[in-house]
Amino acid sequence: MSESTPGAGRRMTRAEARHPEVAVRCRHCKAQAGVDCSNQRGTAPMTGPHRGRRDDWTVATVDCADCGAPIGAPCAPEHPAIPLPGPHQARIAAADVVYAKALEDASRDMPGRKR
């Protein structure tokens, strides 16, 4: 399953340009990579991707300085019996930097330009 690697040689979709975490599949609503999240009930418009998608993107994008988890591997909890609700703060902070840069790059990404 390597198709979920962000920025792997293909151009960002428009959805990704707005929300870089869209580069990974959403496990919550099952939106494919590159496709916006959808509200399954259709009762309210989505204001952005599901929160868990950002966590998955974080895991797929940066390693963790806190627990040493490599890119693609989820953070390891301090206590195996207590699962983490998401990536460690250090990892989230590192991913935030990449996220901001991705948005910046997307804002000047031109069609046909290879990155």
Q: How far is the CB of 98 from Zn ion (least distance, A)?
A: 16
Q: How far is the CB of 76 from Zn ion (least distance, A)?
A: 6
Q: Give 78-82 contacts, CB < 8 A, sequence gap 24+.
A: none
66 near Zn ion, rule: CB under 5 A: yes
Which single residue is written with the structure tokens 């390597």?
Answer: 2
Q: Contact with Zn ion (CB under 5 A): which of 6, 50, 58, 62?
A: 50
Q: Where on the chain is the footprint of Zn ion (CB under 5 A)?
A: 26, 28-29, 31, 37, 50, 64, 66-67, 69, 75, 88
